[in-house]
Amino acid sequence: MENFEFFNPTRIIFGRDTEKKIGKILEKDDVEKVLFVYGKSSIKETGLYDKVVESLKKEGIEFIEHGGVKPNPVLSHTKEGIEKAKKYKVDAVLAVGGGSVIDEGKTIAVGAKTNKEVWDFFRRKREIKKALPVYVILTLAATGSEMNGFAVITNEETKEKLSISSEHIFPRVSILNPELTFTVSKQYQAYAAVDVLAHVIEYYFSGQYCPNLQNRLIESIIKTVMETTEIILNEPHHYNARAEFMWASTIALNGLTRLGIKGGEFPNHMIAHSLGAIYDLPHGACLSIVIPAWMKWYKDKNRTQFERFAKEIFNANTAEEGIDNLKAWFKKIGAPVSFKDAGVPEKDMDIIVDNAYNIAVVWDMAQKYTREVLTEILKNAKD
């Protein structure tokens, strides 16, 4: 096992009706005024908006609204939020939604505490030194953003989708009520499942050594995600399936699964972000296209682990069968597995490669992921 440090300061409050506690939680932390960040319409349709407002009002917490966050949140809207946070001098950010809302909320929390250009943090030109405290009510289990120090934003002008990583943006408290995810559509549930699997398999495959404890933890998450997703797609209101899926998605990217692994990178995310940036496709849909293509390219570099995956997850014998089975499962749940499926024109290959290469440079992975390598991988995703 490799040496590691582990730090995760997020308090999780899990279970039915927990969203009603938000007012009290903020009041206990001496928060008097929050920026209330949310998405396009779902929290108003489900009634969650009213519940949050009631809980805030009950405790006398003032709130400034910043709604309209779009999936794949963009820099311009984030900057509007930063302006509001500064103008109204809020004490904290309250993000109510999925990964996009949380990530925009985290970025606003950073921007509110600096006069520097916030995009510089994404281009890794500056280090984040402070941020407003972030509180979360999660409505879509997928990204793990509710318990990690990452945020992903798209600069729609330059078509760059980049991330920040900082101890300062771990949410202070995240409320996870599985019932709030009952209304997530089948399509987004499929994308969410792909995303959670992606979070655990990146290190599992690309690491040079993975301790057995971590292997088994990761395989347990994979099996749980696959089983619960099948239940959820048939029975969207199945509490225990939603609950297990939700917790699996949180621990998939809260730091636990990568501990003790030697090496390890996030190449599938790197490539997927380029598809997200150019075509504004949902994150999980970008991943279901990239993962089988990357696996095909990478399998001989870590054959033992690919064979282990095939055996453990699909009771299959070869690395190739493992990949085929995973691709078939993505298809079965309704996620695209090729450019063709997602309507991405093949003629755009060079544009996608350039975009992914730019991310590789920022992420310090360009030596391995050259334009030639990226082209080779992406060719596997044509159909």
Q: Using CB under 5 A as the criterion, which residues of the chain lie in contact with Zn ion when the complex forms? A: 195
**Is position 298 an interface residue for ligand NZQ (rule: CB under 6 A)?**
no
Helices (H) and strands (E) in the chain, counts: 16, 10
Residue 140 or 278 having the CB closest to ligand NZQ: 140
- Determine which residue in the list 18, 42, 257, 305 makes contact with ligand NZQ, applying CB under 6 A: 42
- Determine which residue in the list 12, 136, 152, 289 makes contact with ligand NZQ, applying CB under 6 A: 152
Q: Taking CB within 5 to 8 Å according to partner kind, which of ligand NZQ, Zn ion, none is near residue 72? A: ligand NZQ
What's the chain's length in residues?
Answer: 383
> Shortest approach of ligand NZQ to residue 186 CB, angstroms?
11
Give all strands (DSSP E) within 20-124, no chain letters.
33-38, 62-66, 92-97
Q: Taking CB within 5 to 8 Å according to partner kind, which of ligand NZQ, Zn ion, none is near residue 184? A: ligand NZQ
Contact 306, 205 (CB under 8 A): yes
Beta-carbon contacts of 354 under 8 Å, excluding residues fewer than 6 positions away, are 371
| Helix-, strand-, coil-residue percentages of the chain, each rounded to 5 | 55, 15, 30
Which of 72, 14, 19, 62 has its CA nearest to residue 283? 72
Q: Taking CB within 5 to 8 Å according to partner kind, which of Zn ion, ligand NZQ, none is near residue 229? A: none
Distance of CA 23 to the CA centre of its chain: 26
Q: How many residues belong to the site for ligand NZQ (CB under 6 A)?
A: 34
Question: Phi and psi of 158, rounded to 5°?
Answer: -95, -5
**Is position 99 an interface residue for ligand NZQ (rule: CB under 6 A)?**
yes
Neighbouring CB atoms inside 10 A of 317's CB total 11
Cα(6)–Cα(93) distance, integer angstroms: 25
Neighbouring CB atoms inside 10 A of 173's CB total 22
Q: Taking CB within 5 to 8 Å according to partner kind, which of ligand NZQ, Zn ion, none is near residue 151? A: ligand NZQ
DSSP 261: -
The interface region with ligand NZQ, picked from 8-16, 126-134, 137-145, 333-341 by CB under 6 A, is: 137-145
- Window 200-239: contact mask with ligand NZQ (x via CB under 6 A): ----------------------------------------
> Shortest approach of ligand NZQ to residue 276 CB, angstroms?
6
Residue 241 or 319 having the CB closest to ligand NZQ: 241
> Shortest approach of ligand NZQ to residue 80 CB, angstroms?
16
The interface region with ligand NZQ, picked from 95-103, 209-217, 333-341, 343-351 by CB under 6 A, is: 95-103
Residue 163 or 355 having the CB closest to Zn ion: 163
Distances from the Cα of 350 to the Cα of 75, 296, 337, 371, angstroms: 25, 20, 19, 9
**Is position 267 an interface residue for ligand NZQ (rule: CB under 6 A)?**
no
Q: Terminal CA-to-CA distance of the chain, rounded, Å?
A: 39
**Is position 356 an interface residue for ligand NZQ (rule: CB under 6 A)?**
no
The interface region with ligand NZQ, picked from 18-26, 181-189, 228-236, 290-298 by CB under 6 A, is: 181-189
Strand partners, 138: 97, 176
Which of 37, 339, 278 has its CA nearest to residue 156? 278
Name residue 245's amino acid. F
Token code pair at residue 221: 């998450």
Name residue 136's amino acid. V
**Is position 137 an interface residue for ligand NZQ (rule: CB under 6 A)?**
no
The interface region with ligand NZQ, picked from 28-36, 77-85, 180-188, 290-298 by CB under 6 A, is: 180-188
- Determine which residue in the list 23, 39, 171, 267 makes contact with ligand NZQ, applying CB under 6 A: 39
Which of 265, 259, 266 has its CA nearest to residue 213? 259
Q: Taking CB within 5 to 8 Å according to partner kind, which of ligand NZQ, Zn ion, none is near residue 39? A: ligand NZQ
Which of 208, 203, 377 has its CA nearest to residue 297? 377
Residue 71 or 111 having the CB closest to ligand NZQ: 71
Residues that bind ligand NZQ (CB under 6 A): 39-43, 71-72, 97-101, 103, 139-140, 142-145, 148, 150-152, 180-181, 183-184, 188, 192, 195, 253, 269, 276, 283
